[in-house]
Structure 1
């Protein structure tokens, strides 16, 4: 299958991104034809006031991808804004997308209610599902890896495709299917959602010293006051990190040792940091091996491939709309 997926360049990636997205991308690139893009235009839908250095953040995002195991010889990597056909198709799809479809989007309504520190009452935020649709169908994506909460977005994309085909009597696009993938939830070190704004994340680019300092100060079982107090690992954040990164032997030692007070929290945290190090150390090596020049070459090759596919698709789209030509019906 052809797979299309993207990430917004709004900051450094953390362990939550690795578990929730990148691990799955690495698996998919070995099984399917994958297009992974930096969604810099999408970043503007909520962060236009933040004056982000999107060029720098885009390069660093790709560096994190490569560090996490994304292979540019297996997957096509590119920056969204380098392929102007995304914007062209976005404009055209906006012309035919009913306003009610967008206003009923549950994510749109939820974020309007929850996000109070930013002005997101913009046309760009309302219509970002249309841009997502353009991103996907421009490359005839057969499937899109999503979590359960993103299903409404993909259904909007399918509805837009059907509406286009109905209006212009032309089967131009592939209707994308959902590729549901479990998204492991890893909370931040203070028990809240892992986020740079909360300063509670372990980043893929952190040094071993930074990882240990963050793990060392993380919350544990609040009932375990003294070293001799037995604990409950199920209410301890560090145990969640063990389940995500440690092997079965360590997890068993933590569970039994915590409940019996055979181990202390410091010892448990040291094991946790060591397990995370086994994941991050290879990333540091891969990150150091790729230069800005290497990334520029990778993106150039990816953008050339994406541009060729997108250009051919837009030729068909424009003929269907402006010349009423459809080879499917001639």
Structure 2
């Protein structure tokens, strides 16, 4: 049986360079594997935990889907779908919720972090502002994974706990009702780049320091020119370590290109020159994909068609498997 790999993509903003090198690029490469079965989904149920703006959710879903498709996701080989198009997922979530100990959810890092903030702010209520969506979303994540019997889940180190929780939930269900779920494993790739943003901190929407992936040329150049650098003058040797400009370049460049730019740093390249070089380098790479992305955004029906195709393929797995789970827990005809 082929190994199954599953990845969820938050629909919480506009895709940026950090998203590309950290998630989109490795997933697209994996989508072409013939020795594995890949599932990629827009995690829109997860997004409404923190965002209650319908227009923004729709726009982000369109932008994220368009980005993955424009960059070359192989939707003939991989299954690409929208989470909210699979009604079996919320039903499985409830079944799993009824098998999940509250104490397990109490230990979730995301929940504990919110409680800690409330306690530090002396709100008088440790659960102030915490919804049941936030509290129990590791169960929804478990349903996403277990529904498709995923073996490997590519995640960052901050998400390992959620994969362990999915294993715990699956093991408890299997112990009670028999072996139905595959126990998933976290797949950590330490070679995947993590990019810094305009201000030197990790590129993140929450820091408002991102460089969107498909900006028009003029806007892309303007943002790159804003990247924070030190005060070293032209002609002074510069360190590549800790330099955002070099970090972004290295994430896209070949080894030979990286070696060449390192020499230019040693020779004291001016920051303005390096920024212009980075802009031209990235723009040449991104331009063909930008054209495809813009076409998709202008024709959302093409995106929807791909998601419907993915929905139908995903439900070929989810419908019969949920029937199996329903029968296991006792939801069967009486006569």
TM-score, length basis structure 2:
0.88
Q: 1:10 touches 1:52 (CA, 8 Å); kept in 2? A: no
Match in the other structure for 1:159: 168
Matching of residues 160-175 of structure 1 within 5 Å: 160-168=169-177, 170-175=178-183
Matching of residues 23-102 of structure 1 within 5 Å: 23-31=25-33, 32-48=36-52, 50-102=53-105
For residues 212 and 116 of structure 2, the distance between their equivalents in structure 1, rounded to whole angstroms, comes to 29
- Following superposition, the deviation at residue 324 of structure 1 comes to 8.5
- Following superposition, the deviation at residue 114 of structure 1 comes to 5.7
- Following superposition, the deviation at residue 37 of structure 1 comes to 0.8
Q: Secondary structure at the match of 1:53?
A: helix
Q: 2:15 touches 2:63 (CA, 8 Å); kept in 1? A: no
Question: 1:141 aligned to 150, 155, 164, which one?
Answer: 150
Q: Secondary structure at the match of 1:218?
A: coil
> Does the alignment pair 1:243 with 2:250?
yes
> Does the alignment pair 1:271 with 2:297?
no
Q: Secondary structure at the match of 1:46?
A: coil
Stretch of structure 1 that moved more, 277-286 or 199-208: 277-286
- Following superposition, the deviation at residue 113 of structure 1 comes to 3.9
TM-score, length basis structure 1:
0.89
> Does the alignment pair 1:292 with 2:300?
yes
Matching of residues 295-314 of structure 1 within 5 Å: 295-314=303-322
Matching of residues 99-110 of structure 1 within 5 Å: 99-110=102-113
Match in the other structure for 1:328: none
- Following superposition, the deviation at residue 51 of structure 1 comes to 4.8
Q: Gaps spanning 5+ residues in structure 2: where? A: 122-126
Q: 1:204 touches 1:283 (CA, 8 Å); kept in 2? A: no
For residues 215 and 207 of structure 2, the distance between their equivalents in structure 1, rounded to whole angstroms, comes to 16
- Following superposition, the deviation at residue 67 of structure 1 comes to 1.6
- Following superposition, the deviation at residue 242 of structure 1 comes to 2.0
Match in the other structure for 1:4: 6
Match in the other structure for 1:252: 259
> Does the alignment pair 1:125 with 2:127?
no
CA RMSD of aligned residues (A): 2.3
